A and B are shown apart, each in its own frame.
Chain A
Amino acid sequence: MRERTTIVLAMGRELNAWKKPFLISSAVVLAVVAIGMTALVLSSGGDQTVTYQLGLVDDPPAAVERDIQELLHPDGRVMTERFPSLTEAEAALANREVDALVVGDDEVVWGPSTSNGLANAVWLAVSNQQVRDTAAGLGLTAEEANRLIHPEIESRAVESPEAGSVADEVLAAISVILMFMAILAYGQWIGYAVVEEKANRVVELLLGAIKPHHLMLAKVLSIGLLGLVQIVAIGTLALTIGLASDRLEIPAASASIVVWVIVWFLLGYAFYGSLYAAGGSLASNNQEAGSVIGPMSILVGIGYVLGLITISGGVDTLLIRVTSFIPFWAPMLMPGRIARGWAENWEIAVALGVMIVAGLTMIRLAGRIYVGGVARATSKVGWREAFRTGTDLTE
């Protein structure tokens, strides 16, 4: 009971000390996310439909124009322009003022700016009209005529497993970048929080009142709490902007990806956070801290680079598959692979299991190193030396 009060007290002090940097960094990150998402929404939903100019000569039936509009939807639409004579119309076609001509109900003229899509739609629309006319001549009803035009064909598409949608790709990219930044930032905060207490020697006073591994726990928990709040805020903001606009196609999986990102952040943070705490406890001042913490940040950075390959490469390579099981990089790679729909359920389950075991082991190991390192004020302590002199958390 008393121990818990002590941990809560130490957490309270830690949260207070990080209040300012947390608020500032949150404001910056949230602003960046808001701007980025808005830009994404504006650019992706924007005017992707192509508008064609269609020249009409000799009053083609209205049904032709309607059919063309229908056939082009949703990727394109036509604006029509009527010409009094074929000569004027062909001149406009040659000048690319219009993209194709429909003359009466049985003639089409292509020009230099006619695209395949437009040609298909125009051809089909005119041909439909002739089918309707012929059907009427044969005494068929309008409905029967329509059956001729729109035969009942069931159509579906099989997607290549490796080519996800753009939204999936964006989501995967965001998750990799977010994981990298969060683990790096909050891990380093822990490292420096530990070093700071050692450097200004206040740790000697603290250790008379709080067990060293409780002090470490308080640090990891409080800074992790800040990280969690920030990630949840970012996820909520991004989803809200995405959902608020109907122009961006938010895949249904988005919400579950946000949950995965949070889960993997917690696991990755527990792993790296305790590693950074252990590293910080070996240094006695900020200069030394750099040399201990630097290499750990490189490890995180490797995950980031691998993660970026995952996204831009667009291929679930063997390298990515294998490294996404290794605890050092799983937190940065797995959410990305899940977002792109590459990770099989069993892969997710195994990676989670490995990560949980690795996290628990790291907490134990780092706790011992921290205990061995934190009270040694005079000089830099080696990893092995700290491990040898430290005690297990259970002691």
Chain B
Amino acid sequence: MTLAIIRGMCHHEPVLRLDGLSKRFGDVIALADCSLSVAPGQMLGFLGPNGAGKTTAMRTIFGLVRPDRGRVTWEDSELTTSVRRRIGYMPEERGLYPKMRVRKQLVYFGRLHGLDLPSAEQAVDRWLEVFDLTDRANAKVVELSHGNQQRVQLAASLVHDPMLLVLDEPFAGLDPIAVVTMARILREQAERGIAVLFSSHQLDLVEDLCDDVAIINAGQVILSGRVAQLRSASPKRYLEIATSGPVDPSWIDQLPGASLVESRDDRIRLLVDEDANLEMMASAATQAGEISSFTLEPPRLSEVFTSAVGR
């Protein structure tokens, strides 16, 4: 195990801080006292419904949006262009030169972010390999499929070996295999000690991938912390019952203190009251069918999210 991996697992002081950001566009309040921070080695999932302000918050990091109030700091000082060059950014609206060739373009971005020509070329070739794009190196970006363009876009945020990755919905538009690759790469980066901030609407994926999340709603971070803690901090408990054959769901109606959340052929999910009698439920369930598992668990991240944003 390398030192970087150990570092990645430790808790560090945050390097990037968004501090009390407010921004309005005319009548629209995009950010309202929004604060969050990311530490080296931390992979922070940035969640929120559409229009919550995720993209706006991320754009403030690059000076693309100037907040009306609040500030963005790197190690407690204002961000400068030379610090921004050590950040990798994947904008929500993907942006590359459509007619420029893939390799040439990535080398250009690498150099613009401070690499010299040989290191840029070396890094680009490595990332093209990782993303399985070596044979498209001399294709124009516009000739690539959407998913491959997305890979080039991610490569563009990685070539210069950034200290922080800011990725706006990096998983949108990827096929399941690419999602796995992308997730693996992000995890590797975090393990190397790089701070990763990414937004996503794929909550199950975020739950698997991240230790930490920040949930934003109407421009304000309303919930943030470790995924496990957020889940267990919720007073709600769910009963997940797996059966080995079809189950007649009618028995649930007679159960006190439980309500059906979701029911599939061989799986039932119930929201149970805190004072519910689990033993009684277990025996009721056994009568309805053959049980293969019976688990009491805290809410999933998606359930934490839904109740937090109140929808």
Q: Are A375 and B85 in contact (CB under 8 A)?
A: no
Question: Would you call A250 an interface residue if the criterion is a C-beta within 8 Å of the partner chain's C-beta atoms?
Answer: no
Contact call B64/A200, Cβ cutoff below 8 A: no
With A and B bound together, what is the CA distance between A204 and B91 in angstroms?
A: 7
Segment at the B interface, from A39-47, A140-148, A206-214, A334-342: A206-214
In the bound assembly, the distance between CA atoms of A339 and B111 in angstroms comes to: 47
Is there an interface contact between B113 and A200, defined as CB atoms closer than 8 Å?
A: no
Complexed CA–CA distance, A182 and B69 (Å): 45
Q: Which of B87, B93, B156 has the most CB of A within 10 A?
A: B93
Residues of chain A within 8 A of B113, CB atoms compared: 208-209
Q: Is the Cβ of B95 less than 8 Å from the Cβ of A200?
A: yes
Mark contacts of A189-223 with chain B using CB atoms, 8 A cut-off: 1 yes-contact digit, 0 otherwise.
00000000000111111111111000000000000
Q: Are B111 and A208 in contact (CB under 8 A)?
A: no
With known contacts A6-B112, A9-B108, A375-B65, A201–B91 Cβ distance under 8 A:
yes
The verdict on A207 contacting B85 (CB below 8 Å), with A9-B111, A377-B93 known, is no
Q: Assess A208 versus B95: contact at CB under 8 Å? Given A2-B114, A9-B108, A13-B108.
A: no
User: A209 and B112: CB pair below 8 A?
Assistant: yes
B65 & A208 in contact (Cβ 8 Å cutoff): no
Give chain A residues whose Cβ lies under 8 Å from the Cβ of B109. 205, 209
Partner of A202, one of B63, B65, B95: B95
Q: Which residues of chain B are within 8 angstroms of A2 by Cβ–Cβ distance?
A: 82, 114
- The chain B residue sitting closest to A371, CB to CB, is B63
B-chain residues with CB within 8 Å of residue A9 when the two chains form the complex: 108, 111-112
**Shortest distance between the CB of B81 and any CB in chain A (Å):** 5
Task: Say yes or no: is A389 at the interface (Cβ < 8 Å to chain B).
Answer: yes
Chain B residues lying within 8 Å of A381, measured Cβ to Cβ, are none
Q: Are B89 and A205 in contact (CB under 8 A)?
A: yes
A377 partner residues in chain B, CB cutoff 8 A: 64, 93
CA distance A204 to B167 in the complex (A): 13
Kindly report which residue of chain B lies nearest to residue A6, judged by CB atoms: B112
* Band of interface residues on A: 20 to 34
Beta-carbon contacts under 8 Å, B242-270 to A? none
**A363 close to chain B: CB less than 8 A:** no
Q: With the chains together, A200 CA to B112 CA distance in Å?
A: 18
B81 touches A200 (CB 8 A): no
Query: Is A54 located at the chain interface by the 8 A CB criterion?
Result: no
Q: Are the C-beta atoms of A202 and B96 separated by less than 8 Å?
A: yes
Residues of B within 8 A of A375 (CB): 59, 63-65
User: When the two chains form their complex, are residues B65 and A201 in contact, meaning their CB atoms are under 8 A apart?
Assistant: no
**Contact digits for B85-116, partner A, Cβ 8 Å, 1 yes 0 no:** 10101010111111110000000110111100
Contact A209 B85 (CB under 8 A): yes
Q: Mark A308-327, 1 if CB is under 8 A from B, else 0.
A: 00000000000000000000
Query: Which residues of the other chain, A, contact B59 by a CB distance below 8 angstroms?
Result: 204, 375
Contacts of B94 in A (CB 8 A): 201
Q: A204 contacts B62, CB within 8 Å? A: yes
B236 proximal to A (CB < 8 A): no
Q: Give chain A residues whose Cβ lies under 8 Å from the Cβ of B156.
A: 205
Do B93 and A204 touch (CB < 8 A)? yes
Q: How many Å lie between the Cα of A17 and that of B104 in the bound state?
A: 12
Asked whether, in the complex, the Cβ of B95 is within 8 Å of the Cβ of A389, the reply is no
Within 8 A of A (CB), among B57-72: 59, 62-66
Mask, A360-395, CB within 8 Å of B = 1, is 000000000000000101000000000001000000
B89–A204 contact, CB under 8 A?
Answer: yes
Does A10 sit at the interface, judged by CB under 8 A? Answer: yes
Minimal beta-carbon separation of B156 from chain A (angstroms): 7
**Are B97 and A211 in contact, CB atoms less than 8 angstroms apart?**
no
In angstroms, Cα B140 to Cα A127, docked, is 86
> How far is it, in angstroms, between the C-alpha of A201 and the C-alpha of B62 when the chains are bound?
14
Binary flags per residue of A62-90, CB closer than 8 Å to B gives 1, else 0: 00000000000000000000000000000
Cβ 8 A contact of A209, one of B66, B81, B98: B81
Residues of A within 8 A of B95 (CB): 200-205
Q: What are the residues of chain A within 8 A of B201 when measuring CB–CB?
A: none
Cβ-closest chain B residue relative to A10: B112
Interface-central residue, B64, B89, B108, by most chain A CB under 10 Å: B64
**Which A residues are CB-close (under 8 A) to B112?**
6, 9-10, 206, 209-210
- Those of B201-249 within 8 Å (CB) of chain A: none
| Interfacial chain B residues near A3, Cβ < 8 Å | 81
B63 to chain A: which residues have CB within 8 Å? 207, 375
Instruction: List the A side residues contacting B111 at CB < 8 Å.
Output: 9
Q: Give bound CA distance, A204 to B92, whole Å.
A: 10
- How far apart are B117's CB and chain A's nearest CB, in angstroms? 10
Residues of B within 8 A of A389 (CB): 66
Report the nearest A residue to B160, measured CB to CB. Answer: A209
A285 to chain B, nearest CB (A): 12
Can you spell out 8 A-B residue pairs with CB atoms less than 8 angstroms apart? A17-B97, A17-B99, A204-B64, A204-B95, A205-B95, A208-B84, A211-B81, A377-B93
The 10 A-B residue pairs with the shortest CB-CB distance in the complex, in nearest-first order: A201-B95, A202-B95, A204-B91, A375-B64, A209-B112, A201-B93, A208-B62, A208-B84, A209-B113, A209-B85
- Having A13-B100, A205-B89, A209-B84, one finds 18 other A-B pairs with CB under 8 Å, namely A3-B81, A9-B111, A9-B112, A10-B112, A17-B99, A200-B96, A201-B91, A202-B97, A203-B95, A204-B89, A204-B93, A204-B95, A205-B156, A208-B84, A208-B85, A209-B114, A375-B63, A375-B65
Q: Residues of B at under 8 Å CB distance from A?
A: 59, 62-66, 81-82, 84-85, 87, 89, 91, 93-100, 108-109, 111-114, 156
